[in-house]
Structure 1
Amino acid sequence: MAKLGGTRKGAFRAYFFGFFICTAGFLFGYDTGIVGGVLTLKSYKKDFGYTDNTTVSAVMVSIQNVGAFIAALGVFPLSERYGRKKAIMAAMAFFSIGVILQVIPSHSLPCFYIGRFIAGLGLGSATAVAPSYNAEMAPKEIRGKLGSGMQWLFALGVMVSYWIDYGVSIGLPATYTQWAIPVGLQLVPAAVLGLGVLTQPESVRWLAKKGRYDEAWQSLIWIRADDGPEVKAEFNEIKTGLAEELRATEGFKSRELLEPANRYRLILAVGIFLGQQCTGMTALAYFGPQFFKLLVGGGSQDLLITGLFGAEKFLTVGTYILFFSETWNRKPTLYIAAILMALCFFVVTIVNKTTAPPVNNQATSAGIATVAMIFLTNSIYQFSWGPLPWPYVAEIFPSRIREVGTSVGVSTQWLFNFLFSLTTPYMIKSWGSYVFIFYAILDLAMALLVFVFLKETKGVSLEEMETIFNSKAAFDVHEVRKRVLEDDAIDVFDVVDVRGGKHEADRES
């Protein structure tokens, strides 16, 4: 396991910053988990007066995912021009407006749907910007751990939402407040992130890319709580990497995205987030009560089991992040986990189809066994496909196209979130437990693709990614670091010439 150097204050700041920015993941998780429970509340159905449960379930989830997809794909110009902080603040403003529209007692599903769409714009933007922001500030030794915090906070959000749904279902009468409280509480983390980001430094690499080197240097000093030789060397690596990217591309053009190294990275970004959705676990997060009703029958026990499911999700992904995220390599973790999840889903389907169904909402021993198997599948997911796509996509792109690359990857996540959330209620209604076979086949396909195509990135600096992907902007990062550490004449604002023995000053005037 890589040891994190630097000062204790720097380590504290890195962890605090990383997990604070991942509040975007908490919002994503809370919103994901709140939907299924709210749809089971009689108060919600009474206030909006609908009869087609399947269609409302599908539209309620999918319309927000449409907004999130559009925003995640289109937010990079805002993030590129104005910075990560302002992009996140704008995202939280949109999200809050959307939540307010949802909780207004309009008794109108179209009004609620509009609110969901607007909230989706904010949520999609935040989830696309946060991973880049996090990766650009994190020490390489713990970048995977901090990036995986998106999934840990996602799991925390899901868990909190499940228990709030369960609490209001048994503790409040079937009135407007029963469903409005769970929905309206989303404003709290949105305000924390949107206002709290004002206290945090802007991205070091974004500032450096804009030529604001003095500010970038101060930002790096703050996040590392140090200005010694190692921090100086890191800053020179960043500047040298940007200089090499500029030299190799001679100004950004859209066709740069189609160069072999970048095209490969874009395909990986799309593929790994597609794989995350193909595992079936996001569908379980959205429609947990509906899935568990298939296995153990109805009643309040499906919401209780869903609450326990959320708690297990939070504990298992936390265990992975704290103890294994910087120990296990990315690639084998993903393909082995996909195979294991497929096996679990096959077992669930076989047991469910060869045993008697629940009678009078009373769970059978076979139903309990299948739920236990789903919990095991969830644990495997939280040790692999849940957390890993977030840091992986943010770390593989060069600084010049990180906004674009991360946006494409995260928008893929939202696109297939939309497709699966739209179709899953109909799949449950038509296929029953055979839906697990569908996801098992997808898991096996993703295992094969990861084994063949994924690049290993654990413990590699962002600048070293150029070498891994055979980019034209690749340079010897270790040689640059060695030169800076050994040559006191090199100023922190110099750019090391990696093609010769000289270095040249490039300080912002």
Structure 2
Amino acid sequence: MRLPGTRLGAFRAYFFGFFICTAGFLFGYDTGIVGGILEFTSYIEDFGYKDQTTVSAVMVSLQNVGAFLSALSIFWVSELFGRKKTVQASMTVFCVGVILQVVPSHSLVCFYIGRFVAGLGLGAGTAVVPAYNAEMAPKEIRGKLGSGMQWLFALGVMLSYWIDYAVNVTLPVSSKQWQIPVGLQMVPAGVLALGLYGMPESVRWLAKKGRFDEAWKSLTWMRASEGTDVKAEFEEIRVGLEKELQATEGFRKRELLEPANRYRLLLAFFMFCAQQCTGMTALAYFGPQFFKLLVGNNTDQSLLITGLFGAEKFMTVGAYILFVSEMWGRKPTLWISALLMAGCFIIVTIVSKTTPEPDARATPAGIGMVAMIFLTNSIYQFSWGPLPWPYTAEIFPTRIRGIGTSVAVSTQWLFNFLFSLVTRYMMNSWGSYVFLFYAILDIIIALIVFLFVKETKGKSLEEMETIFNSKAAFDVDAVRREAMQDANEVNVHNKSADDP
């Protein structure tokens, strides 16, 4: 399917879409470093604690609390000041939090405060970026660009695992072992904040504010064209906003409770709740600890396996985005993959309970279980990892997309908090039965997707009103044809005027 605009416009769409997803990289990097630094003797000695389970639970959950609060409330800031400035401000807050973590305070309280502040910035950034990305992306590749959040997330996780492994085996026991992995987070945050100065504001946000001249400039810069198809796209955006205003004059809280919007809010809540309930985020946070359940108490070995796990995560989600993201429907991908992941977790549980416990040496059963977890990870990266990001951003109308994505992403942080808080305790109490728990959740998820999720692949943001039977629905194809016809007539008239 040809993209509107020019080749330069296609390049700009891809570059902007993946660049803005640097917020996903930060999310992934921060997720990945936690499990590693908790294994460092230097970190334990610097902060002088003995209860590792409680410290790890508090360290992860505090950041998730901050992220949840900011993600849920940031839409007001985003609607007032725009997507671009909000992302830049959130990255600044994130850097302040990182500084509080790396200062040599030897105080867990100071580190915890830094985690919470960094969470505020990270939650705000991850809540705004999906809407910003969806509002700028051509519909033909919106799923691919939106899935970039997961690809960059996977890249962040992979690099964090290998950095943890590298400092563990190359540096002597010192504060630098954990300060380097934590402090490096400021680099991508600074790049995103500064890099956005050269990027345009959201086309649809500008149009919603009545700043149509600026919106047109933003769209033509992104598409690198002022051709007929770009004019038709802009007219579709304009008419879509006009219909929304006619259907709901002025934003009211009750607008969120209209059947079409209530359904979308519930879907957004479910998508990110389900993403966390698959079990793969818990594996990302506590990879070394999970793999010790399978291969025994060998820190170097578990860190190495975790590094390979991160590399596989990055490669598989990359393969999905580059080759199949716009080929497969959203709905069948989600429910089929949930059932496949459930099957893998059940196999891991059975093998774990029918073979001798690992003793820090590789065994055929341990290798088989690790391979099965890697297969589960691949399935996740082709489905529940990337898809919730574009799906929850694309289903909402422009007027409530900000609050819709805030609800979606805050849900992710809420369940991130829940599972990060209880996972270590579940592992200590249940052992490998924790995999059976996630298998049951995956089966429930598959059933809900099959019954209630709607297909959105290949549809423009304005066409979502028809899919969800909204009062603001209109004949998008008719508007598009009329706009293209008008543009063609103008081109013919101009050509005739230019002819001698």
Shorter-chain TM-score: what band?
A: over 0.9
1:362 and 2:361 matched: yes
1:323 and 2:323 matched: yes
- The separation in 1 between residues aligned to 2:412 and 2:185, in whole angstroms, is 21
- The separation in 2 between residues aligned to 1:30 and 1:488, in whole angstroms, is 47
- The separation in 2 between residues aligned to 1:488 and 1:330, in whole angstroms, is 34
Q: TM-score, normalised by structure 2?
A: 0.97
Structure 1 partner of 2:467: 468
- The separation in 2 between residues aligned to 1:390 and 1:288, in whole angstroms, is 23
Structure 2 partner of 1:134: 133
Whether contact under 8 Å (2:4, 2:229) holds in the other structure is: no
SS for the counterpart of 2:3 is: coil
Amino acid at match of 2:322: L
Amino acid at match of 2:134: A
Structure 2 partner of 1:348: 348
Whether contact under 8 Å (1:61, 1:422) holds in the other structure is: yes
Q: Deviations over 1:218-255 (max 9, x none)?
A: 00000000000100000000000000000000111010
Alpha-carbon deviation of 1:352? 0.6
Amino acid at match of 2:350: I
- The separation in 1 between residues aligned to 2:75 and 2:105, in whole angstroms, is 34
Q: Deviations over 1:306-346 (max 9, x none)?
A: 00000000000000000000000000000000000000000
Amino acid at match of 2:266: I
SS for the counterpart of 2:243 is: helix
Whether contact under 8 Å (2:4, 2:230) holds in the other structure is: no
Structure 1 partner of 2:454: 455
Q: Deviations over 1:183-226 (max 9, x none)?
A: 00000000001111111000000000001010000000000000
Structure 2 partner of 1:374: 373
Which 5+ residue runs of structure 1 have no aligned equivalent? 493-509
Shift in CA distance, 147/212, structure 1 to aligned 2, threshold 3 Å: same
Whether contact under 8 Å (2:228, 2:488) holds in the other structure is: no
Structure 2 partner of 1:334: 334
Alpha-carbon deviation of 1:487? 2.3
Alpha-carbon deviation of 1:357? 1.2
- The separation in 1 between residues aligned to 2:11 and 2:425, in whole angstroms, is 47
Structure 2 partner of 1:254: 253
1:285 and 2:284 matched: yes
Alpha-carbon deviation of 1:485? 1.1
Shift in CA distance, 176/8, structure 1 to aligned 2, threshold 3 Å: same
- The separation in 1 between residues aligned to 2:488 and 2:313, in whole angstroms, is 52
Structure 1 partner of 2:29: 30
Q: Deviations over 1:446-473 (max 9, x none)?
A: 0000000000000000000000000000
Whether contact under 8 Å (1:136, 1:203) holds in the other structure is: yes
Structure 1 partner of 2:12: 13
Alpha-carbon deviation of 1:475? 0.3
Alpha-carbon deviation of 1:28? 0.1
Shift in CA distance, 14/138, structure 1 to aligned 2, threshold 3 Å: same
Aligned residues: 490
Q: Tell me the percent identity.
A: 74
Shift in CA distance, 374/8, structure 1 to aligned 2, threshold 3 Å: same
- The separation in 2 between residues aligned to 1:182 and 1:250, in whole angstroms, is 50
Alpha-carbon deviation of 1:365? 0.8
Structure 2 partner of 1:389: 388
Alpha-carbon deviation of 1:4? 2.6
Q: Deviations over 1:379-435 (max 9, x none)?
A: 000000000000000000000000000000000000000000000000000000000
Alpha-carbon deviation of 1:490? 8.9
- The separation in 1 between residues aligned to 2:83 and 2:251, in whole angstroms, is 20
- The separation in 2 between residues aligned to 1:491 and 1:243, in whole angstroms, is 23
- The separation in 2 between residues aligned to 1:173 and 1:51, in whole angstroms, is 21
Amino acid at match of 1:462: L
Shift in CA distance, 358/83, structure 1 to aligned 2, threshold 3 Å: same
SS for the counterpart of 1:31 is: helix
- The separation in 1 between residues aligned to 2:411 and 2:486, in whole angstroms, is 45
Whether contact under 8 Å (1:22, 1:149) holds in the other structure is: yes
Shift in CA distance, 303/483, structure 1 to aligned 2, threshold 3 Å: same
- The separation in 1 between residues aligned to 2:4 and 2:406, in whole angstroms, is 31
Alpha-carbon deviation of 1:491? 8.7
Alpha-carbon deviation of 1:363? 1.8
SS for the counterpart of 2:250 is: coil
Structure 2 partner of 1:111: 110
Whether contact under 8 Å (2:5, 2:226) holds in the other structure is: no
Structure 1 partner of 2:81: 82
Amino acid at match of 1:318: G
Shift in CA distance, 488/191, structure 1 to aligned 2, threshold 3 Å: closer
Which residues of 2 match residues 35-46 of structure 1 at below 5 A? Answer: 35-46=34-45
- The separation in 2 between residues aligned to 1:322 and 1:289, in whole angstroms, is 29
Q: Deviations over 1:105-139 (max 9, x none)?
A: 10000100000000000000000000000000000
Whether contact under 8 Å (1:484, 1:490) holds in the other structure is: no
SS for the counterpart of 1:487 is: helix
Amino acid at match of 1:440: A
Amino acid at match of 1:326: E
Whether contact under 8 Å (2:23, 2:126) holds in the other structure is: yes
Amino acid at match of 1:129: V
Alpha-carbon deviation of 1:484? 1.1
Structure 2 partner of 1:272: 271
Structure 1 partner of 2:98: 99
Which residues of 2 match residues 387-466 of structure 1 at below 5 A? Answer: 387-466=386-465
Structure 2 partner of 1:61: 60
Alpha-carbon deviation of 1:298? 2.1
- The separation in 1 between residues aligned to 2:487 and 2:316, in whole angstroms, is 47
Q: How well do the aligned residues superpose, as a CA RMSD in angstroms?
A: 1.1
SS for the counterpart of 1:40 is: coil
